[in-house]
Amino acid sequence: MAIQQKLSLMIPGPTPVPEKVLEALGRHPIGHRSKDFQELVEITTQNLKWLHQTENDVLTITGSGTAAMEAGIISTLNKGDKVICGENGKFGQRWVKVAKEFGLDVIKIDAKWGSPLNPEDFKNILEKDDKKEIKAVILTHSETSTGVINDLELISSHIRKHKQALSIIDCVTSIGACNVPVDEWELDVVASGSQKGYMIPPGLSFVSMSEKAWQSSKESNLPKFYLNLNSYKKSLLSNSNPYTPAVNLVFALDQSLKMMKEEGLSKIFKRHERHKLAISEAAKNLNLKLFADEKHLSPSVTAIEIEGIDAEQFRKSIKSNYDILLAGGQDHLKGKIFRVGHLGYVNDRDIISVVAAIGNTLVEQDKISAQQTGEALKIASNYLGLT
């Protein structure tokens, strides 16, 4: 049997899992209707509210981030409702599909992949809606398919002025990576997933619901059962879950949230910012081009264009030679870009290692000099505060 590789995940999800979290995950399960589990739910719920910077309900679903987004949509809207969907990448595209699948009347605001959504486009449409027919604005905060972060703070301010429309936001790769003050920005529905900034394996998702969202849920007529958030709200009153939850993932969640509280929100956000800058600035010194608008780089993932080399073969070489897994491009971007994840349990050593691996691979393919790799490492080190 071959020796198992020590694979380093530098993708936007699943992300690396801390040893303490893995140990918690390996505990013997307990009854999900037991007092012990109810106490665990109570603790994790309070810590989830801390992470979201909210007094709203934060519900936990056994399912992926897509389940959380779908739950938010079908639990608050009615068939035929007019909604705005922002699309500037793979995940924005997904929410357009979901909205149409449930019979919503979609107004699409799009931007070229690699560019941010224009807040003025949202403002203009919302201001012209004199009859208040628009019931929700659905968009992705951090678009990991392209490495772009949208200006959620400004867009949400335009939504609030409309009064009627709900904000339904995919924060799957921004919660736990950058500042998302749910109450301050008055966000109504915020969805996220466990395998991202939460630093635990896939399988749990989370939905923050405002009072305005709960009011809308009373009239919602879209079909739902397992993802009916009213069921989760009712069970949360007794620190429970309407269905059998992923008990061991909740053990892991408890440990990861404790670690995050110990580090502190501001330090978490600054760490992700340092890593973003270290990767993006080093990449430019390696004669690589950033795919995303430089003023709107995601704190979670950096998308990089590569010319003259197939990006899939490039990723394959790095995995084979350095045991580092990078993400590829999606849809029409496959083979044209690769993506470096720096989300969750990633430290400075990981950043230096991936810069060295990318640089050395380019040297091996006669694209740059060894000196450029050294310069890129120095640049990365400066942003990390290592020199």
What is the CATH number for 293?
3.90.1150.10
Residue 15: its pLDDT value, please? Answer: 97
Are 230 and 84 contained in the same domain?
yes
Are 51 and 164 contained in the same domain?
yes
Beta bridge partners of 59: 207
* 242: in domain: yes
DSSP helix, strand, coil percent of the chain (3-state; round to 5): 45, 15, 40
DSSP state of 188: S
* 2: in domain: no
Q: Tens digit of pLDDT for each residue in 101-141?
A: 999 999 999 999 999 999 999 999 999 999 999 999 999 99
Q: How far apart are CA 141 and CA 150, in angstroms?
A: 5
Residue 36 predicted with pLDDT over 80: yes
Q: How far apart are CA 24 and CA 68, in angstroms?
A: 24
| Contact predicate 179/198, CB 8 Å | no
Confidence of residue 386 (pLDDT cuts 50, 70, 90): confident
Are 250 and 299 contained in the same domain?
no
Write the DSSP string, 134-155: EEEEEEESEETTTTEE--HHHH
Mean pLDDT of 273-288: 98
Q: How far apart are CA 210 and CA 134, in angstroms?
A: 18
Cis peptide upstream of residue 14 (ω within 30 degrees of 0): yes
* pLDDT more than 70, % of the chain: 99
* 254: in domain: yes
Residue 49: its pLDDT value, please? Answer: 98
Count of domains in the chain? 2
* 336: in domain: yes
**Last residue within a domain, chosen from 227, 262, 297:** 262
Beta bridge partners of 311: none
Are 199 and 227 contained in the same domain?
yes
Mean pLDDT of 348-369: 97
* 39: in domain: yes
- Give one word for 104, left, alpha or beta, with left for phi > 0 and alpha for psi -120 to 50: beta
Residue 315 predicted with pLDDT over 50: yes
Confidence of residue 6 (pLDDT cuts 50, 70, 90): confident
Are 185 and 290 contained in the same domain?
no
| Contact predicate 68/93, CB 8 Å | no
**Last residue within a domain, chosen from 204, 230, 262:** 262
* 3: in domain: no
Domain encompassing residue 341 = 8-14+265-384
What is the CATH number for 147?
3.40.640.10
Are 69 and 178 contained in the same domain?
yes
Instruction: List all residues 6 or more positions away from 104 whose beta carbon is below 8 Å from its beta carbon.
Output: 73, 77, 79, 80, 81, 82, 83
Residue 2 predicted with pLDDT over 70: no
**What's the mean pLDDT when you consider all of the chain?**
97
**Last residue within a domain, chosen from 262, 288, 310:** 262
Residue 185: its pLDDT value, please? Answer: 98
Are 237 and 296 contained in the same domain?
no
Q: Tens digit of pLDDT for each residue in 169-222?
A: 999 999 999 999 999 999 999 999 999 999 999 999 999 999 999 999 999 999
Residue 4: its pLDDT value, please? Answer: 54
Residue 267: its pLDDT value, please? Answer: 98
Of residues 85, 20, 32, the one with CA closest to residue 235:
32
Are 235 and 280 contained in the same domain?
no
Mean pLDDT of 84-89: 98
DSSP state of 176: T
Are 227 and 368 contained in the same domain?
no
* 179: in domain: yes
Residue 1: its pLDDT value, please? Answer: 38
Compute and round to an integer the Cα radius of gyration of the chain.
Answer: 21
Instruction: List all residues 6 or more positions away from 277 whose beta carbon is below 8 Å from its beta carbon.
Output: 383
Are 318 and 243 contained in the same domain?
no
Are 120 and 243 contained in the same domain?
yes
The CA distances from residue 97 to 33, 101, 203, in Å, are 36, 6, 22
The helix-helix angle for 265-285 and 348-364 (nearest 10°) equals 10
